[in-house]
Amino acid sequence: MSEEQSAPVCYRHRNRQTYLRCVRCDKPICADCRIDAPVGFQCPDCVAEGRRTMRRPRSSFGGGARAGAAGTVTKVLIGANIAVFALAIISGGSIDALMSSVLTPMHALGAEIGYLPGYSSVRVDLFGIEIVAPMIAAGGYYRMVTAMFLHYGLIHLLFNMVVLWMLGRVLERDLGPARFLTVYMLSGLAGSVAVYLFSPEVWTAGASGAVYGLFGLLIMVNRKLRRDNQGIYVLLGLNLVLTIISGFSLAGHVGGLIGGLICGAILTFTPRERRSIHWVGFAVFLVVLAAITFFQTGAIDNRYDVV
């Protein structure tokens, strides 16, 4: 028998003789099947098995690094805010109404408000359908979330979305999509709770609470990763001064900032090997926000006799 006839054949291509072998399983492989390895070659089966057992790269705080790098959640949040703004224009009937900060039906349904003496709900005509929307103190707690996606005019929307784009992609990469989205929502909710607690009779709306939460979160993350925070401090200070001068919702902005700092503390002070505690910390923070909300509702009930 000749040497050519006795040569082994590729395990995937039985008609191809080869002297190459996989360094892991020792199966013969042809030149088309071989995959370069640090030492020698590997077969497709061993490479696939290695990928299945390989630990996926994680971000600095336990999130999926590759998924977070795409900034998908940031893009979805921006898209959601723009979509709601478009609906507000359609439901309000004109862009002029929005630009002059006149409440459209969409805002009446979702803007935060605790209670106005004599009123426990708002009656609006939305796309030809009459809807009665309760205020927060009368059970409309959904407003604390929906208000995060409503804006008073195009400038208000653009400002928040630009900052969300700048900070969101960085933080989503560091935290991963799930943790980033959770902190964003908790920060926005903290801003809503602060407004309900300190300014319950004032209409407010916007993603500013959540965006200010990203400032607080980035400060904590940068400190953990030993990055320079000087530029963030300057930008945050300028925004707070603008908030005071322009008469924006100081309670909502500061409440969101504090919410972001608290969430950042949960992330950065948790030991690296016990990252699952992050979710416990977020849950506790949510319970605290709920407790404050219900406490304020009770106080408003006693003050105004809400029905």
- Do 113 and 189 belong together in one domain? yes
Q: How confident is the model at residue 54 (pLDDT cuts 50, 70, 90)?
A: low
Regarding whether 43 and 89 lie in a shared domain, the answer is: no
Domain boundary among 33, 53, 73: 53
Residues 170 and 246 in one domain: yes
Report whether pLDDT(67) > 90.
no
Confidence of residue 1 (pLDDT cuts 50, 70, 90): very low
60 has catalytic annotation: no
Domain span holding position 33: 3-53
Q: What is the per-residue pLDDT across 167-218, written as a single tens digit (0 to 9) for each?
A: 999 999 989 999 999 999 999 999 999 999 998 888 888 999 999 999 999 9
pTM of the model: 0.77
Same domain, 124 and 7: no
Q: Tell me whether residue 137 is in a domain.
A: yes
Q: Are residues 42 and 122 in the same domain?
A: no
Contact 42, 157 (CB under 8 A): no
Count structural domains, the chain. 2
Helix axis angle, 177-198 to 208-224, nearest 10°:
130
* Model confidence at 118: pLDDT above 80: no
pLDDT at 97: 57
pLDDT of residue 105: 85
Q: What is the CATH number of the domain that holds 137?
A: 1.20.1540.10
The answer on pLDDT for 235 being more than 50 is yes
Q: 97 and 15: one domain?
A: no
Q: Which listed residue (208, 246, 249, 276) is catalytic?
A: 208
Average pLDDT over residues 7-11: 85
Q: What is the dihedral of CA 279, 283, 288, 289, to 10 degrees?
A: 100
Q: In the predicted model, what is the mean pLDDT of the chain?
A: 85
- The answer to whether residue 265 sits within a structural domain is yes
pLDDT per residue as tens digits for the range 80-105: 999 999 988 888 766 665 555 567 88
State residue 98's pLDDT score.
57
Same domain for 136 and 224? Answer: yes
Q: Which pLDDT belongs to residue 271? A: 82
Measure the CA–CA gap between 97 and 103, rounded to whole angstroms.
8
pLDDT value of residue 194: 95
Mean pLDDT across 117-123: 79
Q: Is residue 58 part of a domain?
A: no
On whether residue 92 sits in a domain, the answer given is: yes
Tally the residues of the chain: 307
pLDDT of residue 3 exceeding 50, the answer is: no
Residue 87 and residue 18 share a domain: no
User: Phi then psi for 55, rounded to 5 degrees?
Assistant: -70, 130
For the ranges 38-47, 87-96, 128-137, 138-147, which has the lowest average pLDDT? 87-96
User: How far is Cα 117 from Cα 248, in angstroms, rounded to an integer?
Assistant: 23
DSSP 272: G
156 and 194: one domain? Answer: yes
Whether residue 110 is found in the same domain as residue 233: yes
The confidence score (pLDDT) of residue 2 equals 46
Tell me if residue 253 is catalytic: yes
- The catalytic position among 151, 156, 253, 278 is 253
